Copies of this chain bind each other. A is one copy, B any other.
Amino acid sequence: MSARSNEPYYAVIFTSRRTEGDQGYADTARRMEELAADQPGFLGLESTRGEDGLGITVSYWRSLEELQAWKQVAEHRIAQELGRDRWYERYHVRVARVEYEYDFTRGQTS
């Protein structure tokens, strides 16, 4: 998500530790990113996992209602179930309202 929004919006902060092995995780993660991008109210997603195994994914949504609707999408519900069954040792989800923001890009004057 590169554009700065003037409307309030929400960030879903998903931190996780994976179990050992892929077990179909990478394919489903890719599919869920595609599917999320098609949902009403989806604004963007940033995701990374470090060498120590900690993963942080932040997705951005126009409203609480729209991000909650995404949680209920059937294919996503199956993925969440597989996540608890196979893929994650633990995860933590925080839903937060973006209050303000700023950014920096090298070579641009702000």
Residues of A at the B interface (CB closer than 8 Å) are 10-11, 13, 15, 19, 46-50, 52, 54-56, 58, 64, 83-84, 88-106
Q: How many copies does the complex hold?
A: 2
Cross-interface CB contact of A103 among B56, B90, B100, B105, cutoff 8 Å: B90
Q: Across the interface, do A89 and B64 meet the contact criterion of CB distance under 8 Å?
A: no
Majority secondary structure, A binding face: strand
The CA-CA distance from A106 to B20 in the complex, in Å, is 13
Cross-interface CB contact of A46 among B15, B47, B99, B101, cutoff 8 Å: B15
| A19 CB contacts on chain B under 8 angstroms | 106
Q: A48-B52, A94-B101 are in contact. List 16 more A-B contacts (CB 8 A).
A: A11-B13, A15-B46, A15-B58, A58-B58, A84-B104, A84-B106, A89-B106, A90-B105, A91-B103, A92-B102, A92-B103, A92-B104, A93-B101, A93-B102, A95-B98, A95-B100
